[in-house]
Amino acid sequence: MTQFPQTIHFTGTNTPIGVEWSARNLDVIGTIPEEIDGAFFRAVPDPALAPMFEDEVALSADGMVAKFDIRGGTVDYAIKYVETERYLLEKEARTALFGRYRNPYTDDPSVAGKDRTVANTTPVWHGGRLLMTKEDGLGYEVDPETLETIGRFDYYGALKSETFTAHPRIDPETGEMFFFGYEAGGLASLDVAYGIADKDGNLISEQWFKQPYCSTIHDFTITEKYAVFPIFPTTADLDRLKAGGAHWAHQQDLESWVGIMPRYGKVEDMRWFKGPKGVSAFHFLNAYDDGDLVHLDVCLSDTCAFGFMREAGGVERGQQSIQGGMTRWTFDMSKPGEEFESRVIGPPGDMPRIPDASQGRMHRKGWYLTINPEGGPPVPGGPVGVSFNMLVQIEPGNGRIEAMPLEPGMAINEPVHVPSSDPEKDGWLLMVVDRQTGENSFDSELWVVEADAVAKGPIARVPMPLPMRAQVHGWWVSREQLDKAKARKAQGLAA
Ligand code: V55
Ligand code: FE
């Protein structure tokens, strides 16, 4: 194609922008606290070229890495393409060469065997390194200062998995990163790699296991004792791929599963719990140990949130009909059997956040995005095609809920959390908010919200001079972490 299709994947807040730009000292309305000192990295899918096929989806768009650099109450911004092998090949050819979402059988023969990933899902900071990740391939290392692409990162050849999740988990005490890759042994394979990298970013373990069927394992969790792998029935099939079909099809009649193993243990010790049929979740708020119990907070829905995955599985359900809730699943590790308990602890929603320090520990609060039924029709766009318009805070311990609803015609992107040095305070949430100004035009702002007082709305706003495409995930990196990495790099260069 020579033009972008006029589908939801390319309109609304998914309207392609494709501009690499930067700006210093953006206008700030209100005051950004001095303590917010560091970088808010964002993964923004934005197709550089019109796709090969009309039915292309937003999830295939080329990854851009964006950075809000915040210090002393001032803000700089920059955004650049991640120069994946795929991006560079298509840039050279000046046309799309890669076909359907995660189906290499639909590619131009000239790119057979080339890396298809678009690095568009999460900027991950670990071991002084910034990786742009997408679950269908390895991460690409990006220079956190210049946003220039360094290259595909495979732990110096040590990682055997072909894939690396966009949702690793970092233990706040040990600094280790726990991660996985599914389809680790190739397209539609049952192989899942489970890996651990030490605090300096060296691979210290990688084990493989088989999942019950080839599902999209988008996220997982750790506790202080366990690694938790949820399996939902959105499945891949090699024959369908070979026929040029969809990678994922949701199967409403298939069971879900949760595999739990000691986080430093052997994959052979995985214990499988059986969950409800047909349900789906892409993200988990957190998990933690409570004696022999493991609590897992799931952004659960009764079917798959992505319309194109439902359609491929023959599930005829409109986006508006999807039910769900923030759901606590509790596993009793002292009892045998496949059962676990389930209860709803918050309204339906996704893009959850907890403070990094609560990772794998009891979280007093959690924040995520939801659709406010009183907020007018949702703005079209974002990964699933309808945007969230309200931030919610839940306190699982006491059931209290607070919210920051937006005005009609506004959309909210996933926040990052910035901790406060004051133990009495919950820190801040930073997020980009879009306001619709025309059919496919939006004004965007960075908002700073006190995490203790979300209902109050932003304490500072940064209007952006150019339009911004919908973000997927983000990551906060403190100035201390950035400076440490910079010093290490300077030492390495000097040596
Ligand atoms: C998700 C996002 C992806 C993807 C698969 O949020 C799942 C879920 C942005 O890319 O490829
Ligand atoms: Fe995700």
Q: What is the pLDDT of residues 169-183, one digit of tens each?
A: 999 999 999 999 999
Beta-strand pair 400-405/63-71: unpaired
Ligand 1: atom nearest CA of 120 is 9
Q: What is the model's pLDDT at position 489?
A: 87
Ligand 1: atom nearest CA of 45 is 9
Mean pLDDT of the chain: 97
CA of 439 to the centre of ligand 1 (A): 25
Q: Is 282 in the pocket of ligand 1 (CB under 6 A)?
A: yes
pLDDT in tens, 439-460: 999 999 999 999 999 999 999 9
Q: Is 331 in the pocket of ligand 1 (CB under 6 A)?
A: no
Q: In 10 A of CB 34, how many CB atoms?
A: 10
Percentage of the chain with pLDDT > 90? 98
CA of 489 to the centre of ligand 2 (A): 29
pLDDT in tens, 400-432: 999 999 999 999 999 999 999 999 999 999 999
CA of 400 to the centre of ligand 1 (A): 30
Q: What is the model's pLDDT at position 492?
A: 79
Q: Which residue has the CA at smallest separation from atom 4 of ligand 1?
A: 59
CA–CA distance, 398 with 377 (Å, rounded to integer): 31
Q: What is the model's pLDDT at position 481?
A: 98
Q: What does pTM read for this prediction?
A: 0.98
In this predicted structure, the answer to whether residue 495 has a pLDDT above a threshold of 80 is no
CA of 30 to the centre of ligand 2 (A): 31
Q: What is the model's pLDDT at position 491?
A: 87
CA of 167 to the centre of ligand 2 (A): 6
Q: Which amino acid is at 316?
A: E
Q: Is 59 in the pocket of ligand 1 (CB under 6 A)?
A: yes
- CB 185, CB 218: distance < 8 Å: no
Q: Which residue has the CA at smallest separation from atom 3 of ligand 1?
A: 59
Q: What is the model's pLDDT at position 494?
A: 56
Q: Which amino acid is at 448?
A: V
Q: What average pLDDT score do residues 31-59 get?
A: 98
pLDDT in tens, 352-365: 999 999 999 999 99
Instruction: Answer yes or no: CATH 2.130.10 is held by domain 12-314+323-494.
Output: yes
**Which tokens is 283 given?**
């993200």
**Which tokens is 481 given?**
């972490």
pLDDT in tens, 379-402: 999 999 999 999 999 999 999 999
Dihedral sign (CA 212, 214, 215, 218): positive
Q: What average pLDDT score do residues 230-236 get?
A: 98
Ligand of minimum distance to the alpha carbon of 217:
1
In this predicted structure, the answer to whether residue 160 has a pLDDT above a threshold of 60 is yes
Q: What is the model's pLDDT at position 1?
A: 85
Q: Which residue has the CA at smallest separation from atom 6 of ligand 1?
A: 282
pLDDT in tens, 317-360: 999 999 999 999 999 999 999 999 999 999 999 999 999 999 99
Q: Is 163 in the pocket of ligand 1 (CB under 6 A)?
A: no
Torsion of CA 378, 384, 385, 388, to 10 degrees: 20
Backbone angles phi, psi at 466, to 5 degrees: -130, 155
Percentage of the chain with pLDDT > 70? 99
3-state secondary structure the chain: CCCCCCCCCCCHHHCCCCCCEEECCCCCEECCCCCCCEEEEEEEECCCCCCCCCCCCHHHCCEEEEEEEEECCEEEEEEEECCCHHHHHHHHHCCCCCCCCCCHHHCCHHHCCCCCCCCCCEEEEECCEEEEECCCCCCEEECCCCCCEEEECCCCCCCCCCCCCCCCEECCCCCCEEEEEECCCCCCCCEEEEEEECCCCCEEEEEEEECCCCECCCCCEECCCEEEEEECCEECCHHHHHCCCCCCEECCCCEEEEEEEECCCCHHHCEEEEEEECCEEEEEEEEEEECCEEEEEEEEECCCCCHHHHHHCCCCCCHHHCCEEEEEEEEECCCCCCCCEEEEEECCCEEEECCHHHCCCCCCCEEEEECCCCCCCCCECCCCCECECEEEEEECCCCEEEEEECCCCEEECCCEEECCCCCCCCCEEEEEEEEEEECCEEEEEEEEEECCCHHHCCCEEEECCCCCCCCCCEEEEEHHHHHHHHHHHHHHHHC
Residue with tokens 């900027």: 123
CA–CA distance, 66 with 43 (Å, rounded to integer): 6
- CB 272, CB 339: distance < 8 Å: no
Ligand of minimum distance to the alpha carbon of 101:
1
Q: What average pLDDT score do residues 222-248 get?
A: 98
CA of 74 to the centre of ligand 1 (A): 32
Q: Is 101 in the pocket of ligand 1 (CB under 6 A)?
A: no
Q: Is 218 in the pocket of ligand 1 (CB under 6 A)?
A: yes
Ligand of minimum distance to the alpha carbon of 166:
2
Residue with tokens 């959390």: 417
Q: Is 131 in the pocket of ligand 1 (CB under 6 A)?
A: no
Q: What is the model's pLDDT at position 396?
A: 97
